Structures are given as C-alpha cells and as structure tokens.
Amino acid sequence: MRLTVDELRALNARFETQTPEQILRFVKSTFGPRAALLSSMQRAGSVLAHMADAMDYALDVLFVDTGVLHDETLRTRDRLVASTRNLRVITLAPAHSFAEQTRADGVLYLTREGQERCCDLRKSAPLHTVRGRYDALISGLRRDEGGARAKVAIFALDAEMNALRVHPLANFTSAAIDRYVAKHDGVVLNPLHAMGFPTIGCHPCTTPVRADEPERAGRWRHLAGVEYCGINPTDRAGGAQDIDLDDRYAAALRTT
C-alpha cells in the first residue's frame, strides 16, 4: 500500500485526542514486532519503554551508541536491559570509532557544517542499517519542546527509513512526563537529568541548562542556531514524502 501525505492527515485526526497508551496499543495491534522504539535513554524514551513493557509489548528498542556518550547514558541502557520483561534493547553503532573519524575528517563538531556530517555519521547512518526491518518507528518527540517540534504530528512519514514515525507523546508536556514518573515505579531514568541536563546527547555537544533557559539550550551551545541532530524527519527541512508499506496494514491505517 502507498501511504500518502493526505491519508496521513486522516490518521492523525483519528488519534489526536488519544492517550499515549492508546496509541501504543494501536501500534502493537497493527504492526506487532515490525515496530521499534527509538531511545537515546532520555526521559521521554524511558517513559515510552515503561508504557510498552507494562502492556506486555515485545518491542525492540533501538539505541544508537555514538561512541561519545556519557557513561551515565550507557549505564541507563544497561539498567533498562536488566529491568525489562518484554523489551529487547538493540545497540547500533557507527562504522568507525570517533578517533578514526577524527583522524580522517578532523574535529567535525566544531563547525555547523561539520556538526551535520558528524551527526549523520554517528547517529543517522547506524539507524539506516536497519532500514526495512521495521515498518513503524516510535519516538518521544513532544510539541512542548518548541522549535520545529512545536507542530509534530502523532504520525509522520519517514521516507529515508520507509517507515511510519509514531509520536505517542506529541501532546504530552514536560510536567506530564514528571507526573507519569512520579506515579509509576520502575521508570529507568538517566541520572544526568537530575544534574541539570533536560536533554542529553553526545558529551562534547551537551551542557547543563540554567532554569531560565529553554530545555534544548544545552545542545550544541557552541554553535549558534543548532538545536537538532537530524535523526528525526520532523527536525529536518523539506516536505514529507509518501511511503510504501505492506498491504496488510491498509485496513487499520485507512479506517475512518
């Protein structure tokens, strides 16, 4: 089936008022193991992992280890592996170590153009190695993050991965995430969040954030105007493109 941008509008209208759990149940019933959760071991991904595990969803969790992550992030990954009942954490990695990349290309992240290439090599390229394995990719983007994400849809098209992007927390706020964590035991949280890091990336490009700053102010602080790495289609410029999915999804995705 060809899922078009126009059909996507109807799908989003159906789920705009649904809870994250209801959206995840729809993904489970529609895609089953052909869906995966993208997590960089931050709060939103941890909440989605907890929700999926609680509903006994045998879901793959894709984690990209860029080779320059904080130790706390890697330990959070390991804690999730040890605590989950239903999730399978799959670690993806770049083709070359950061030292090998630096010897070949220099210290890329010091310029805007270099940062884009560095993020592409160390984040996007590893994800592209599983293209075709999944038909839906779940991530924790929220509208209240601002910037390009202020208009993030619950369902979006990812032409590069030929997959449906699903954002169950699109309507969630940072305060709603805090309430979920407070209400539920067992949410595996990255300790960096308690150290002044509302969002977390690679350690050379992530700093703590003051209380009076936007939550993404600590990402690429040394590069004016850079907020995103580009691994999420929502954060990239350019219009959406149609995708091709198996015909077995047609009834669920096109029911009005």
| Residues belonging to the active site | 229
For residue 231, give every residue at least 6 positions away whose Cβ sits within 8 Å of its Cβ, in sequence order, or none: 38, 64, 119, 123, 124, 127
DSSP for 205-240? GB----TTS-TTTTBTTTSTT----S-SGGGSSS--
Q: How far apart are CA 22 and CA 25, in angstroms?
A: 5
Residue 55 Cα distances to 38, 48, 139, 143, angstroms:
18, 11, 17, 25
Amino acid identity at 162: N
Query: What does residue 199 show for φ and ψ, rounded to 5 degrees?
Result: -130, 150
Our measurement of the distance from residue 252's CA atom to the centroid of its chain's CA atoms, rounded to an integer in Å, reads 23
Residue 47 Cα distances to 54, 80, 248, angstroms:
11, 11, 29
Q: How far apart are CA 127 and CA 137, in angstroms?
A: 11
The structure tokens listed for 244 are: 């091709």
Query: What does residue 19 show for φ and ψ, rounded to 5 degrees?
Result: -80, 160
